[in-house]
A and B are shown apart, each in its own frame.
Chain A
Amino acid sequence: MSARSGWFARAALTLLLAWLVLYPILVVVVDAGRGDALATFVSRPGEWGALWASVWISLASVVLAAVIGVPLAFLFEWLEFPGRKTLGSLIALPAVLPPFVGVVAFLFLYGESGFVARAVQAALGLTRAPWRLQGAGAILLVHAYSMYVYFYLFARAGLAKLDASMLEAAQALGAGRWHTLRRVALPLLRPSLAGAALLVFMTALGSFSAPYVFGGGFRVMTTQIVATKLNGELPLAMVETVALALVATLGLVVLRRTEGDDILAALGKGIGPLRRPIRRVSVRALATATGWALAVLLLLPHVTLVLVSLVPYGTWTTEALPPVLSFVNYRRLFGEPERLRPLVNSAWMAAASTAAAIAVALAAGALVGRRGGRWRGPIETLVALPWALPGTVFAVALATTFGAAQPWALRWVLVGTVVLLPLAYLVRNLPVTGRAVLAGYRQLDPAVEEAAASLGAGRWATFRRVTLPLLKPALAAGGSIAFVAALGDFVTSVVLYTYDNRPISIEIMGSLRISELGVAAAFGVMLMLASALVLGLGARR
């Protein structure tokens, strides 16, 4: 590629990304500034309450997730006990449960008429359900369950990188086990823990499914935005969107600062720590029992979902366990075209958006993956931006931008068409595929491409025969995560779907509304299986 056409391609990609990612946000900011919506926002205590709720729920989620995830990481990385390997991978199970499906499973399990509540009610002979799963506590329960995985995985990765000789050095210097943990291990883990904290904070801030289902009167900003939009107060919804985006950006900046440099990476890899077998029989039994109990606890939502999906409509009323089980819900799913539609819709939209996100990521990688130059910064920032903002923000921004016909401003009416939702999935998927592909490009030895060129392969042949096959693991990893995210998406779908492209999550919500719990669960199981399958394929070497 000549210098000139290279410049042109980079500029074109930057503009495309800016139009997809930045422009909708700017449109919302400008719209929010019009009229008196800002004054309304400032004067309503409910708005400030929702904003504050978003912040403290997110911070509390970080604390809870860390309290569960970090000790587990130490347990599985430092100690040896029967079943450690199996349990260690089981423990990442919440990852295959799309957020909305997880919430529904929790509803079936711990909700007012869920299995646990019924069991307790039956055991104690109560006339009413012993609790209601609602409000901040319920939201935090779901967050802790689904987000501790980040801390667990990050801390384990950090611990695996830790040089055993460093810990031995501390002990040789006379430090006890606690002292070593506090003064050596934890400080060295800081970058991993900060990374996990950032991820949990951003996920919790953008979390929509849990507050939507369990919030009741308790509003966080994401649910507040959707409610305001449904009320028709569009300008106010814009202000709320901007407020949430600002909080997200602020959180990102503050948490990034605590991350610090990865000193472990700078020192290079030493020897991995030896796992210490637990010698005392009673302690080992306790650790094993705790581990398995935990695994059961973590698996319960999955099992619940499967069980409920086998309950035919109207056969389960007051019994503790469903009396009739059959595959009738699945037969209806695949037998009735209208029920099959959401599965087809989700599949094609997830596939199309993932393919497009991979194509954009590959373009970014090819243009700035190695020799960045001045375009690298803008392109990488634009690709990563959607990650920093909650899904609701992008949904509202895209709905606003593409709800007006102003071709001169690059705005067309896409609201109400089937293309807007996959477009939103594409934007949301960009950071995942982009990060994977750019990292893949960075690991690529430039000499390999030069070798291809010196053997007579042109640019396209080199890309097709050398670069692409070598990027395959990165593409599979990024692509599978993106596909699963789009397949199970609820946040953006609830704002942007139309009847013609209604995805699985929306159908689940619809089924829940008319109390077809079995059908809802069957959809959830399908989603869960597809997610597990795709993630498994993506992780395969």
Chain B
Amino acid sequence: MKAFVTLDGVRKQWSPTVSVGPLSLEVARGEMVALLGPSGSGKTTVLRLLAGFEALDAGRIVVGGEDVTAVPPAKRRFGMVFQHYALFPHLDVGENVAFGLTARGAAAADQVRAKVAEALALVDLAGFERRRVYELSGGQQQRVALARALAPEPRVLLLDEPLSNLDPALRERTRRELRTLITRVGITSVFVTHEQEEAFDLGDRVAVLHDGRLEQAATPDELYEHPASLFVATFVGRANVVRGALAGALGARDGQIVVVRPERLRFADAGVPGVVRERRYTGAAAFYQVDTEPGDRLEVQAGPGAARVGERVYVEATGVMTFAEGGGGVRP
């Protein structure tokens, strides 16, 4: 992979105890990378360092061979979509989109008008030029923000929690549209999210952050199947984390932690004995909470009629991941 954007040993020290990095990450041209992590993990800081709103304490940022570490945000030619969109309330939709086209001095009026129309058409808002931004719905505002960021043809598009401000019903549709749009434009993008589903759906690769450190950057499949750390294994997807006797019963060595996903467990004729305590029905499948005899509780995903509450069952694992206590991943 040839890197278009490179974060090289980037570090930001907020206070003696709070810092982000050092962290290195490469993004290929046209790639879409998700920064995923719980709140406080430093994902927004990484995005703001990329945009230039925060100054680095160490490391450097390179874009297309140009070191932009000391370049102010106005000269980076990065487009940004803000979490709350940050549309200019005193300007109408067209003026918002035109802002980046005229920010660095005069431009021919008809050219600007054409580009604004083009950008608005791209986000399916053709003809919205003279509308006030506060008259628009949340989804429309988001698209205006996107059009505004894309209009000046930036080198990289940054998106801060692009879907968090939309109601759930709208979120999924917007996510699909966003994916289509960005693929069509072919722009290199980095976006921040705290939702795994969003990261997996939109990101070609996902960088998982935790406590200011980069835990793993990989494709969604790789993250899910081969998490590099206990944190990634439990943060990405549902997982049973098992220690002690039950871990041993599932095949772990002494002191190892077993992580097993609910769909990698099934009811069988033999295995770890236990009693079904709860059943949660989700349509295609059901999740069963099983109190095992060795002591811990396991979540099992199985067919809706696989077991009843109160029934004695045997649980078998078809695939487990093991980790050393406090350490990285160990392949099974």
Contact = CB atoms under 8 A, between A and B. Distances in A.
Interface of A: 445, 447-448, 450-459, 461-462, 465-466, 469-470, 472
B77 interface: yes
B83 A450 contact: no
Contacts of A461: 103
Contacts of B83: 447
Nearest to B78: A454
B90 interface: yes
Given A451-B148, A453-B73, 15 more contacts: A445-B84, A447-B82, A447-B83, A451-B80, A453-B72, A454-B51, A454-B76, A454-B78, A454-B149, A455-B74, A455-B79, A455-B99, A455-B148, A455-B149, A456-B104
B173 interface: no
A450 B82 CA distance: 9
A457 B82 contact: no
Contact of A456 (B75, B82, B84, B86): B75
Contacts, number: 72
B88 A456 contact: no
Contacts of A469: 90
A473 to B, nearest CB: 10
B281 interface: no
Interface of B: 51-53, 72-80, 82-84, 86-90, 99-100, 103-104, 148-149, 152, 158
B77 A447 contact: no
B53 A456 contact: no
Given A450-B73, A456-B75, A445 B99 contact: no
A447 B84 contact: yes
Contacts of A462: 74
Contacts of B100: 455-457
Contacts of B88: 448, 451-452, 466, 470
Contacts of B90: 469-470, 472
Contacts of B86: 445, 447-448, 450-451
A356 B78 CA distance: 37
Contacts of A454: 51, 73-74, 76, 78-80, 149, 158
Nearest to A3: B55
10 contacts: A448-B88, A450-B80, A454-B73, A455-B100, A455-B148, A456-B103, A456-B152, A457-B103, A458-B103, A470-B88
Contacts of B77: 456
Nearest to B48: A450
A262 to B, nearest CB: 26
A4 to B, nearest CB: 13
Max count, chain A CB within 10 A of own CB: residue among B72, B89, B99, B104: B99
Contacts of B104: 456-458
| Chain A interface, DSSP helix/strand/loop, else mixed | helix
Contacts of A465: 99, 103
A450 B72 CA distance: 11
Contacts of A452: 88, 99, 103
A-B pairs with lowest CB-CB distance, top 3: A455-B100, A447-B86, A457-B103
A329 B27 CA distance: 80
A466 B104 CA distance: 14
Given A450-B51, A450-B73, A451-B88, A457 B99 contact: yes
B12 to A, nearest CB: 15
A440 to B, nearest CB: 13
A465 B88 CA distance: 10
A123 to B, nearest CB: 60
Nearest to A453: B73
Nearest to A454: B80
Max count, chain A CB within 10 A of own CB: residue among B52, B75, B103: B103
Nearest to B83: A447
Contacts of B75: 456
A458 B79 CA distance: 15
A458 B82 CA distance: 18
Contact of B74 (A448, A458, A470, A472): A458
Nearest to B151: A455
A453 B78 CA distance: 10
Nearest to A459: B74
Contacts of A455: 74, 79, 99-100, 103, 148-149, 152
Nearest to A448: B86
A455 B84 CA distance: 16
A457 B74 contact: yes
Contacts of B73: 450, 453-454
A217 B80 CA distance: 70
Nearest to A462: B74
A461 B104 CA distance: 8
Max count, chain B CB within 10 A of own CB: residue among A447, A456, A459: A456
A452 B148 CA distance: 10
Contacts of B84: 445, 447
A371 B149 CA distance: 26
A464 to B, nearest CB: 11
A447 B104 CA distance: 19
A448 B90 CA distance: 11
A462 to B, nearest CB: 8
A470 B86 CA distance: 12
A116 to B, nearest CB: 51
A453 B77 CA distance: 10
A479 to B, nearest CB: 18
Given A461-B103, A470-B89, A470-B90, A450 B74 contact: no
A469 B90 CA distance: 7
Nearest to B82: A447
A363 B183 CA distance: 44
Given A465-B99, A469-B90, A470-B89, A453 B82 contact: no
A232 B158 CA distance: 70
Nearest to B84: A447
Nearest to B75: A456
Max count, chain A CB within 10 A of own CB: residue among B51, B86, B100, B152: B86
B49 to A, nearest CB: 13
A383 B156 CA distance: 43
Contacts of B82: 447, 450-451
A472 B52 CA distance: 28
